Structure 1
Amino acid sequence: MDLPTAWNLDDKSNYLSVDSSGLRVSYKYKGLGECEENVDSIRANQPIPLHCKLFYFEVEIIDEGENKYIGIGFCKKVVNLNGMPGWDYDCWGYYGDNGNFYCCSGKGNPYGPLFSTGDTIGCCLNFKNNTVFYTKNGINLGVAFRNLEGTLYPYVVFGSQGGSIEVNFGSRKFKFAVMIWEMNY
């Protein structure tokens, strides 16, 4: 079973730079994410296998950038990487600048706290009960989305000059105790 292990260097927008580990991404565009032309995103190197009943990843916010405009989520392969997670069909995302969760439309729903430099945001896709929840600094924020289906990729978007993140797909210990949660769920 091939799981996501890094960002896909060939499946990203133009203004993103990825370090040699494939885990740290920085946004170099001069815009402020005020429209879709000012955002760039990247997908993981592998989709989450459908037979993987539970998949969790964490994103550490190294630098929130000028306006905290970073979205963390998941998408299908058909999603345009110059769009915003959750604003188009087949993509979903939780945003640091407003705490909203976007589900296949440009209308966000209040979900969780804002996040910024130093925070770690986790995203758990539970294919056993078809739900998604996020964590902030190891604390479960509750279900963000129900009726999860399809082949999905971890996905992050930037619209904040100077923004930088590092992903953990499980190569080191998570801040959230996923296995304990799974056993108690």
Structure 2
Amino acid sequence: MDLPTAWNLDDKPFYLSIDLSGLRVNYEDLGSNIGAIRANHPIPPQCKLFYFEVDIIDEGKNKWIGIGCSKKAVNLSGTLGWYYGSWSYQGNDGKLYYFSGIGNPYGPLFSTGDTIGCCLNFTNNTVFYTKNGINLGIAFRNLKDSLYHCVGLYSPGGSIGVNFGSKKFKLAGTTE
């Protein structure tokens, strides 16, 4: 069973660059394109619980960063959560997007210096997010299918780093 360990170098738009570690993504466009990147492996439902954290290194000009998941078939040259098979929590407005361009209020805005966690719970088929280690409550229900962790960016100068579990999480009560 392969678990997500890095971003998929071949599963992203050209204007998103990945560093040599495979864990940091930079938005390298002037702001005319929206794009997302998927993890190198889907989250196996038999894990029952899978969590990852995204460090907002630089929110960029638009502060438009979305954190969530998608099915393999979702087009990554668009806003994460706006298309069928994807969802996200957006930093610029604190809303959840689930197969729609109309968001629902959820949590606080996030920006440079924040760490946002995303947990898929296949035991009760829910997703919750955290901000700087604090649980924000259930965001989505009815998980189905094979899913990949994703991050969407539309913010010139934006940069994020990911922790798929290779170091200690900020989530309260977790260990290495």
**Shorter-chain TM-score: which interval?**
over 0.9
1:81 to 76, 79, 82: 76
CA distance in 1, matches of 2:27, 2:69: 19
1:55 and 1:177 mapped to 2: Cα distance?
Answer: 15
The answer to whether the 8 A contact 1:56-1:178 is kept is no
The yes-or-no answer on 1:25 pairing with 2:25 is yes
Unaligned ranges ≥5, structure 1: 33-37, 181-185
> Distance in 2 between the 1:44 and 1:110 partners?
26
Equivalent residue of 1:7, what SS?
A: coil
1:2-151 alignment, distance < 5 Å: 2-31=2-31, 38-151=33-146
Q: CA RMSD in A?
A: 1.1
Match of 2:157 among 162, 169, 173: 162
Question: In structure 2, what is the Cα distance between the partners aligned to 1:154 and 1:132?
Answer: 12
| Letter in structure 2 aligned against 1:68 | K
Structure 2: 5+ residue runs without aligned partners? none
Contact 2:134 2:172 in 1 (8 A): no
CA distance in 1, matches of 2:125, 2:174: 18
Q: Spell out structure 1 runs of 4+ moving beyond 2 A.
A: 177-180
1:179 deviation in Å?
4.6
The one-letter code sitting in structure 1 at the alignment partner of 2:48 is K
Question: Number of matched residues?
Answer: 175
> What TM-score comes out, normalization by structure 1 length?
0.92
Partners of 2:46 and 2:25 in 1: how far apart?
A: 28
